[in-house]
A = this chain, B = another copy of it.
C-alpha cells in the first residue's frame, strides 16, 4: 500500500481499505494499491496544517516563491516519467497533450505563481496615509484541494492551478488526489516534497492523501481547522461540500459544470460554414471532449446553411475515431447523459453508443433539439455530457434564440461566431447582453477550449458553473485572491505592521494603492 504524506513524513495510512487506478486504454487495473483514508489521517493532516498555517505567516514570500520555482524545475527534470505515468492513468496521449502541452502549462503555472508570490501585488495592499489605515489580502489557513480527473497535471491537486494559487498566497495545502490518477499524484507529491525539503518551509506546507469516504469529505469541510477548498469535479459532489461550507460561512471555490454555449450567427455560417465545421468538430472531439470548457451546446437559426453545417459536423464526428475516455465512470456518465437528453426530446444525429475507440470510449455524438422544445425542458436539456457529446439547438427565428438564451444556466464560457463583413452586427448586439450575463468568459470567433493562464483570464462564471461569479480559478494573480481574507490595520504601530504595509515598498516592485493611486514607490 502506498504511503500518504502527512506533516513532512511519508507514512502508512490509517486506511479503511484500498483502491487501484485503472489504465482506461487497456481497461485493466494498475498494480499499485492506494489507501482510502479514515478520519484519523484527515485529523492528523488538519492538525499539521494548522501548525503550518501559523508558521507560514512568518515566512517570507521569497521563500515560498523559491519553493514553487524549484518544484517546477523538478517536474521538468522528470517530465518524461510524469507524462508516461499520467498517460497510463488517464489514457490522454503522451504527445503532444501531456508531455508538450499540459506539463509545460503546469510548470509555467507554478512559475507564474512564484512570480506573483514574489511580487506580492496580488495582495492588493492599500494604504490611507491620512487615516493611517492599511489593508491587504492575507492567507486564510489550511486549504483542501480536490482536483478533477481531466487534467492529471495542470489541475492536479498537488501541482495544478488551485495548488499553486493556495501555496503562493501563503496557505498550507492538503491535497486529496483525484482517484483516477493516484500514481501521478504520488510522483508529483514526491517531487513537491523533495522541493519542500530543499526549502525551509514548514513540513506540513503540503500534504497528500488519496481518497476519503463521502461522509469524511463533508466532515473535513465542517472541521473548524479547514479554512477553504478548491474543488473541480461533479456538480452533485461539489454541492454537498458547498452546503457544508456555506453553513459555516467558509469561502470555498468550486467549478461544477458548464455546457459552454456557442451561437453561430447566419452571416458566419454563410461566410465560412465549412471552416467552422472543422473548428467546432475539432474542439468537441479533442481530448474526447473532456474539458470544462468543451463547447457542448450550440445554437443556430434554421436555414439551408445551418442544415449543411449540422450535416458537416455529423460527417466529421462520424469519421473521427473517438479518444479514450478517462475512466469507466466517464463512459457510464455519457450513457446516462445521452439518455437524459433523448428522454427530454433531443434526437440523436450520430453516435450515442459506447465504444468506437481504444479502451473506454464513446462514439462521437451529436444530438439535436428544437429551440421550442429546449425552452420546455431547459434543465434536462442542459445536462452536462462530459465528453465527446454535443447538443445542437435549432431555432426558427431570433425570438427563439432569445428564449433559449434566457433559459441558459450559468456557464464558464459563451461564444458568438459572426460574419466578418458586418452582416451580423445587429443580431450580435441583441444577443450579446443575454449571453454576457450568463457566462464568465465571452468569446468571439474562437473555441473556448483553450484556457490561457493570462492575467485577464476568467475561468469562472455564474452558478452553477462555479459558486461565486467574482472569482477565477485560472489566471494569475487573480486566482490567488480566492484563498485570502481582507486584513485591515487601523492605527497599528508602524513596526508591528506586516512588511507589505510598512512605509517601505517590500520589493521595490510591489503594486500598492496609496491614497487611491497605484504605486510601486515607498511611502
> What is A's interface to B at a CB cutoff of 8 Å?
54, 57, 126-128, 131, 133-135, 137-138, 140-141, 242-243, 246-251, 410, 413, 428, 432-433, 436-437, 440-446, 448, 452, 454-458, 460, 462-464, 466-472, 478, 481, 484-493, 496, 511, 513, 515-516, 518
**B440 and A486 contact, CB distance less than 8 A:** yes
Q: Contacts A469-B140, A470-B481, A496-B432 hold; do A488 and B249 have CB atoms under 8 A apart?
A: no
**B470 and A486 contact, CB distance less than 8 A:** yes
Contacts of A127 in B (CB 8 A): 456
The listed residue with most B CB atoms (<10 A of its CB), out of A127, A243, A458, A491, is A458
**B518 and A428 contact, CB distance less than 8 A:** no
Docked CA distance A470–B478 (Å) = 13
Known: A127-B456, A249-B462, A249-B463. 15 other contacts (CB 8 A): A131-B456, A133-B457, A137-B470, A251-B468, A251-B470, A428-B496, A440-B487, A440-B488, A441-B488, A441-B489, A441-B490, A442-B488, A455-B516, A457-B488, A478-B486
Distance in Å: Cβ of A227 to nearest Cβ of chain B = 9
**B126 and A456 contact, CB distance less than 8 A:** yes
**B486 and A458 contact, CB distance less than 8 A:** yes
The 9 closest A-B pairs by CB, nearest first: A249-B463, A458-B488, A518-B518, A469-B485, A246-B246, A441-B488, A128-B456, A133-B456, A128-B454
**B455 and A128 contact, CB distance less than 8 A:** yes
**B492 and A444 contact, CB distance less than 8 A:** yes
Contact pick for A491, options B251, B443, B464, B471, CB 8 Å: B443
**A456 and B243 contact, CB distance less than 8 A:** no
Docked CA distance A513–B511 (Å) = 10
Contacts of A448 in B (CB 8 A): 490
**B491 and A455 contact, CB distance less than 8 A:** no
Contact pick for A484, options B428, B437, B470, B513, CB 8 Å: B470
**A456 and B135 contact, CB distance less than 8 A:** yes
Contacts of A247 in B (CB 8 A): 243
**A442 and B492 contact, CB distance less than 8 A:** yes
**A249 and B464 contact, CB distance less than 8 A:** yes
Distance in Å: Cβ of A175 to nearest Cβ of chain B = 23
What would be 24 A-B contacts, judged by CB atoms less than 8 Å apart?
Answer: A54-B433, A126-B456, A127-B456, A128-B452, A128-B456, A134-B456, A138-B436, A242-B249, A243-B246, A243-B247, A248-B463, A249-B467, A250-B463, A251-B470, A442-B492, A444-B491, A445-B493, A460-B486, A469-B486, A470-B484, A470-B485, A470-B486, A478-B486, A518-B518
Docked CA distance A513–B428 (Å) = 28
The listed residue with most B CB atoms (<10 A of its CB), out of A138, A460, A462, A485, is A485
Contacts of A137 in B (CB 8 A): 470
**A462 and B445 contact, CB distance less than 8 A:** no
**B135 and A457 contact, CB distance less than 8 A:** yes
Contacts of A489 in B (CB 8 A): 441-443
Docked CA distance A441–B250 (Å) = 18
Contacts of A445 in B (CB 8 A): 491, 493
Distance in Å: Cβ of A414 to nearest Cβ of chain B = 10
Q: Contacts A444-B496, A455-B515 hold; do A436 and B133 have CB atoms under 8 A apart?
A: no
Distance in Å: Cβ of A516 to nearest Cβ of chain B = 6
Distance in Å: Cβ of A421 to nearest Cβ of chain B = 12
* CB nearest to A437 among chain B residues: B141
**B454 and A131 contact, CB distance less than 8 A:** yes
Docked CA distance A324–B496 (Å) = 39
* CB nearest to A256 among chain B residues: B249
Contacts of A458 in B (CB 8 A): 135, 486-488
Docked CA distance A511–B121 (Å) = 14
The listed residue with most B CB atoms (<10 A of its CB), out of A413, A443, A468, A470, is A470
**B493 and A444 contact, CB distance less than 8 A:** yes
Contacts of A441 in B (CB 8 A): 488-490
* CB nearest to A445 among chain B residues: B491
Q: Contacts A57-B433, A463-B248 hold; do A133 and B488 have CB atoms under 8 A apart?
A: no
* CB nearest to A489 among chain B residues: B442
**B452 and A131 contact, CB distance less than 8 A:** yes
Distance in Å: Cβ of A158 to nearest Cβ of chain B = 25
Distance in Å: Cβ of A250 to nearest Cβ of chain B = 7
Contacts of A54 in B (CB 8 A): 433
